[in-house]
A and B are shown apart, each in its own frame.
Chain A
Amino acid sequence: MPFQLQQLYQYYRNASHWLDQNIEQFNPLKDGNDSNTLDLYQTKALGELGLFCMLYHRCTEGHLEPTVERFLCFIYSIWQHPEYQERIMRRPEYFQIQTMIYIVLQQCNVINDSYKEVIQRIIDQGYVTATETTAMRLLDRRHMLDCGKFNHNLPSYEELYKNTLLAKTPPIIYLTDTDVYAITHTLFYLTDFGRCSAPMLDGEHLSMVRWIIETLLGLYLRRKHWDLVGELLLNCLCIDWYPEIIFETAWETLLKFQLPDGSMPGPRFSEEQASKKEGEQKIHYCFEQNYHTTLVCSITSYLTYQWLKNHNHLNSER
């Protein structure tokens, strides 16, 4: 292996340190946040930070590092604001991103499930499961409701999967970035981020899916698109797939491209643009461009670190 397991852990530490340093940027209730768009973008970011905590929590069975504890405390502090909690009832069009916070805190044992009844009420009204969206987003919706143990009337994973892009295995040559995000997310939800195996991914179809993920990983590694490289590496874990050469080359390259502050450059990040900005403006720019990629690579590095340790890939001759 061209890198040490310890390097992977250090990479994770650096990335989570950057997230910790920028924690206030995740706050959707910040003073002067009068723009709905900005608020929504930060709510989404907060939900993703929550997802990071939830996956970490699952992996360590509740044994949390101080950094992750701080993230959860921060998310809890936002949740405690009544006007934030009430958004689930007041703005059901954003039900999913708001409810995510409740699920994360409940799953990580920060709060009990007393608010579940309120959320179930809005689900029972039928709006949040009836709105139109893509096949992958329907899987996302079902996955989230299942995570929170809510009752719902959504079709089975098998039924939802049939309509996704991945299930139809279109020619890889034509896939766009949006298509690839649809594929990576489909695998996240289908396997509960690698927690369970999906029965529809077997036999010939599974080997096709593995080839798609390996090839896309190579293509996006070539493009230095770290956001999708991180997601595709996480997909490898989801389907328990270790394409040795590409997997190791991807990690070797990711380790090299981590910025000195621990962040990973997002697809639209420009060093030149960043250097033209100063102070708060620069912090905002770097956060906006890099937070998602850093979060993805951070959780992927931690889960990969644990996965490699458990699977002993380091010492095995493959």
Chain B
Amino acid sequence: MEYRFLQSEQVRLISSRARDWLVGLQKRVDNNANCTIRNAFQILVGLWICERALLDDKEFSYTKSQVQNVNQCTASHTDLFTDLLHADPPLVLLSTGILRFFNVQNIHLELFAEKISQLLQEHTDQNEGEANELFINRFLLHRLHLHSPLPSYSIREMPACDLIQADDTITRSLITDIAAATQYGQITLSTGKKFVQALHSILPILMVHYFRIYNLELGMGLLRCMHYLDLCKNRSFYTGLNFLITQQQLEGRFGFLAQEISQLPISREQFEPDLNIYLPHTVSFLWTIAEITNPQFILANSF
């Protein structure tokens, strides 16, 4: 398989290490009371990205095994609908799509997807922001044949001097807006020329800023946005990507986050760093690396 920006060997090393770590976690969570249904979906998505986009493993051995785990997990929950809502609907919808890829129709997940579809069809978005927030759900539902084709989405413009000072909330909205307005890089952004210029200049700076302060989540989100906006030739893009790949630990999980974890005011009984912190970061890392290096891969479109 041909990869962009990184050597094939690098991609293989990154993803096989991440897969090994996810498989280890898969085994550990079976007997772990802190493991939630959300963790089961996250492991599924992580393995899926490794085997579908990065390792090009046609056997999908570990993803298939996690599909069985998800089936068992959903069967054992009593108030499943609430649990699924708490698990994050886009994650559930994406998992539903992955299960369908393996010809597995999980009745609980299918019902959940239909219910979300119904709710969204009855819902009128209050504003552009809400429409963009809900875009990912609609996009995934459309892929599941549970939503009509999507309209075009627009991005909320702001002056360059506000953009450069964007706080975490605004940055998060910006990432959502860019994903919606470009449909994960599939369409060109159609907005004012001046704002596009401002985005092209300032987005790379925001990305570097978030990596400098070790906010990996927002840094990765911005790096993906640079990819969606076709800013891959910008030097900051390579800087961000090179920084990112150095943040994988030797055992495959992503991030050096002991400092942040030690400052969390939560007891270890309720909290498992690997599940609560490293797992979502690792999935997000794999998502970023996969979309950037594999030109055919868009996570939300991958099943």
Binding site for B on A (CB under 8 A): 2, 171-174, 208, 211, 214-215, 218-219, 221-222, 243-246, 248-249, 252-253
Contact = CB atoms under 8 A, between A and B. Distances in A.
25 contacts: A171-B243, A172-B239, A173-B208, A173-B212, A211-B236, A215-B205, A215-B236, A218-B201, A218-B205, A218-B209, A219-B205, A219-B209, A222-B165, A222-B205, A243-B201, A244-B197, A245-B197, A245-B202, A246-B164, A246-B201, A246-B205, A248-B160, A249-B161, A252-B161, A253-B164
Interface in B195-215: 197-198, 201-202, 204-206, 208-209, 211-212
A11 to B, nearest CB: 16
A221 B164 CA distance: 8
Nearest to B162: A249
Interface string B172-212: 00000000000000000000000001100110111011011
B160 A249 contact: yes
A312 to B, nearest CB: 20
A226 B242 CA distance: 29
B235 interface: yes
Contacts of A222: 164-165, 205-206, 209
Given A222-B164, A222-B165, A245-B198, A173 B211 contact: yes
Interface residues of B, number: 21
Nearest to B160: A249
Nearest to B197: A245
Contacts of B243: 171, 173
A222 B201 CA distance: 13
Nearest to A217: B205
B242 A171 contact: yes
A39 B51 CA distance: 67
Contacts of A246: 164, 201-202, 205
Given A173-B212, A252-B161, A215 B204 contact: yes
A141 to B, nearest CB: 31
Given A222-B165, A249-B160, A249-B164, A211 B205 contact: no
B235 A211 contact: yes
A219 B202 CA distance: 9
Nearest to B199: A245
A253 B163 CA distance: 12
A111 B92 CA distance: 79
A245 B212 CA distance: 22
Contacts of A208: 235
B235 A219 contact: no
Contact of A245 (B165, B201, B208, B242): B201
A222 B165 CA distance: 5
A219 B207 CA distance: 10
A180 to B, nearest CB: 12
A236 to B, nearest CB: 14
Nearest to A243: B201
A2 B161 CA distance: 10
A2 B212 CA distance: 29
Among A244, A245, A246, A248, find the residue whose CB has the most chain B CB atoms closer than 10 A: A245
Chain B CB count within 10 A is highest, among A215, A246, A253, for: A215
Contacts of B197: 244-245
A246 B160 CA distance: 8
B8 to A, nearest CB: 23
Given A173-B211, A218-B209, 6 more contacts: A211-B236, A222-B205, A222-B206, A249-B161, A249-B164, A253-B161
